[in-house]
Amino acid sequence: MIDYAPEIKAARLAVVRDALIGGRLALYESGELLASVPLGAGAVEGDKLEFATSEGIAISRGRPDAAQLLNVDGLPVVDGLTVGIDVELDADAVEVGQTVHVVSAVIRHA
């Protein structure tokens, strides 16, 4: 495994944060899109990038299990996030039209 100096980790995460300005957090269950929530402001601290809490409206019913961070054009910048680990919601399941509250969304530098 490659080990980066702390300032390099922070710089790499800052590039990711900047690529996500105006982007969205997409929530999925078994590959089906349940909600697309605007990303709150991102902040880099050490080896983690954390986004401010945000909310959006569910477009489908289900239990989110995976997430992606999409740029302003809707293209994936970060994939492979797990709901319940990388992304915390205020509810385990969502219904169509329900407000989805993102409590936290954090990625860590490897």
> Which residues form the domain of 64?
6-108
Inside any domain, residue 69:
yes
pLDDT of residue 110: 78
Distance CA(31)–CA(52), nearest Å, equals: 25
- Is residue 1 assigned to a domain? no
- pLDDT tens track of the chain, all 110 residues? 888 999 999 999 999 999 999 999 999 999 999 999 999 999 999 999 999 999 999 999 999 999 999 999 999 999 999 999 999 999 999 999 999 999 999 999 97
Instruction: Print burial letters for 32-45: b (CB count within 10 Å at least 16), e (below 16).
Output: eebbbbebbebebe
Q: Establish if 83 belongs to a structural domain.
A: yes
Q: Based on the structure, what is the number of domains in the chain?
A: 1
